[in-house]
């Protein structure tokens, strides 16, 4: 890693302005579900979960907590880390596939909770790819503005509300959490570059919550069929990840004329720690440069990549000038990558206050 002076918040003209990350914040609800607890409901053993997934525990929102509540905590931490006032935020983008309600946008709920009354608030739906998709929206917004400003991008999921605890393919992986980033102007050579996003809607049925929308509105029949729970074709999704992740990384490196050794930190979506570590090894990525947080939080969807980036900043010693390669993929199916030259942003990762574990997720899951 190469150390360089910390970047300032440079003034640039629209279209040439460089945009980077100025602060990060995360939030995990205090309730947890251990492998032993999940295993009892899923009909497997804790050892099976550890060996197949690498997930050790997962955080669970309380009965009265919604996605916006988790997101608001993360946004407050990110804004504080960036050293700005929440009233300075001009855009608030929320990435989630577990919104508070079908409408309005969860971003509007977050805006009200944190007091960002000057911000335009909107949601982006790209499942586990959501944070990077939302970051591209904020990046373009800020680059096109007439004057410098700030945007907050928060990824959040409350998956536990939509899980079937007896489904071992989903209950062992998905969990709750939020991670937020403040985007704003930075000096050269810092900031984002080379965003590449993609989607393949022909595979939209591989991971979804089929009930509750306009195709299958809530009704006694959909409730009885469990259509309001997450359904996933695990084998097909694994094949998708095995194909798309190496391709995203190799193509991003080729476009930039870089090698694995030129990247200080690889930050990926966290679908399965065992699979992620295996693919990283096959690509020749040194273990210490591949950020893996799924073992401690599970798959927190749209929050995963941003949470991993915060961990890289807070725990892995990212320094100004370090190159970070971001890669995401998720339901839809969706995928994306971006290069980020680190500007020295601070990250706040508050430790959740211990609470008694949730005895049975099915007792508090709402349809």
Extended beta strands in the chain, E state = 19-27, 31-34, 57-60, 89-95, 120-124, 150-158, 176-185, 191-199, 207-208, 231-232, 265-268, 323-330, 334-341, 346-348
Whether 228 is catalytic is no
> 100 in helix, strand or coil?
coil
Whether 128 is catalytic is yes
Q: How far apart are CA 55 and CA 36, in angstroms?
A: 12
Q: How far apart are CA 10 and CA 184, in angstroms?
A: 9
Q: In the 8-state DSSP scheme, what is residue 174?
A: B
Distance of CA 174 to the CA centre of its chain: 12
Rg (CA), the chain: 19
Please spell the DSSP secondary structure of 181-222, one letter per residue: EEEEE--TT-EEEEEEEEE-GGGGGGEE--SSSSSS-S-HHH
Are 186 and 10 a contacting pair, CB within 8 Å? Answer: yes
Whether 299 is catalytic is yes
Number of Cβ within 10 Å of residue 257's Cβ equals 7
Q: In the 8-state DSSP scheme, what is residue 151?
A: E
Catalytic one of 27, 73, 269, 316: 269
Ramachandran quadrant class, 153 (left: phi over 0; alpha: psi -120 to 50; beta: rest): beta
Q: How far apart are CA 124 and CA 139, in angstroms?
A: 14
Non-local (6+) Cβ contacts of 330 within 8 A are 126, 127, 128, 129, 130, 207, 269, 301, 302
Q: Which residues of 284-299 are buried (b: 16+ CB within 10 A; e: fewer)?
A: ebeeebbbbbbbbbbb
Task: Indicate the length of the chain as a whole number.
Answer: 367
Catalytic one of 59, 73, 268, 299: 299
Catalytic one of 27, 35, 73, 128: 128
Nearest to 134 by CA among 185, 103, 96: 96
What angle do the packed helices 35-42 and 46-53 form, to 10 degrees? Answer: 100
Active site residues: 128, 269, 299
């Amino acid at each position: 890693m190469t150390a360089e002076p910390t970047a300032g918040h440079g003034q640039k003209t629209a279209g040439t302005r460089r945009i980077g990350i100025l602060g990060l914040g995360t939030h995990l609800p205090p309730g947890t579900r251990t492998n032993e607890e999940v295993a009892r409901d899923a009909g497997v053993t804790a050892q099976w979960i550890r060996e197949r997934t690498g997930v050790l525990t997962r955080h669970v929102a309380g009965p009265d907590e919604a996605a916006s509540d988790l997101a608001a905590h993360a946004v407050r931490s990110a804004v504080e880390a960036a050293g700005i006032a929440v009233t300075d935020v001009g855009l608030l983008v929320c990435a989630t596939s577990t919104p508070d309600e079908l409408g309005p946008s969860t971003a509007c709920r977050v805006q009200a909770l944190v007091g960002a009354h000057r911000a335009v608030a909107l949601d982006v739906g790209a499942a586990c790819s959501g944070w990077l998709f939302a970051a591209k929206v904020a990046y373009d917004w800020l680059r096109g503005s007439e004057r410098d400003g700030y945007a907050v991008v928060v990824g959040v999921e409350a998956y536990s509300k939509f899980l079937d605890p007896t489904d071992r393919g989903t209950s062992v992986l998905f969990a709750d959490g939020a991670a937020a980033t403040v985007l704003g102007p930075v000096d050269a050579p810092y900031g984002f570059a080379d965003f590449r996003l993609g989607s393949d809607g022909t595979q939209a049925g591989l991971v979804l919550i089929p009930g509750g929308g306009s195709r299958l509105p809530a009704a006694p029949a959909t409730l009885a069929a469990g259509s309001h729970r997450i359904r996933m074709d695990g084998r097909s999704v694994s094949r998708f990840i095995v194909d798309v992740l190496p391709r995203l990384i190799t193509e991003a490196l080729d476009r930039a004329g870089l090698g694995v050794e030129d990247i200080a930190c690889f930050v990926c979506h966290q679908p399965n720690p065992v699979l992620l570590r295996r693919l990283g090894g096959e690509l020749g990525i040194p273990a210490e440069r591949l950020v893996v947080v799924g073992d401690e939080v599970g798959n927190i969807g749209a929050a995963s990549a941003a949470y991993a980036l915060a961990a890289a900043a807070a725990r892995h010693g990212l320094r100004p000038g370090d190159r970070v390669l971001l890669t995401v993929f998720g339901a839809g199916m969706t995928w994306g990558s971006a290069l980020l030259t680190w500007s020295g942003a601070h990250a706040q990762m508050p430790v959740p206050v211990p609470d008694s574990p949730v005895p049975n997720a099915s007792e508090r899951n709402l349809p």
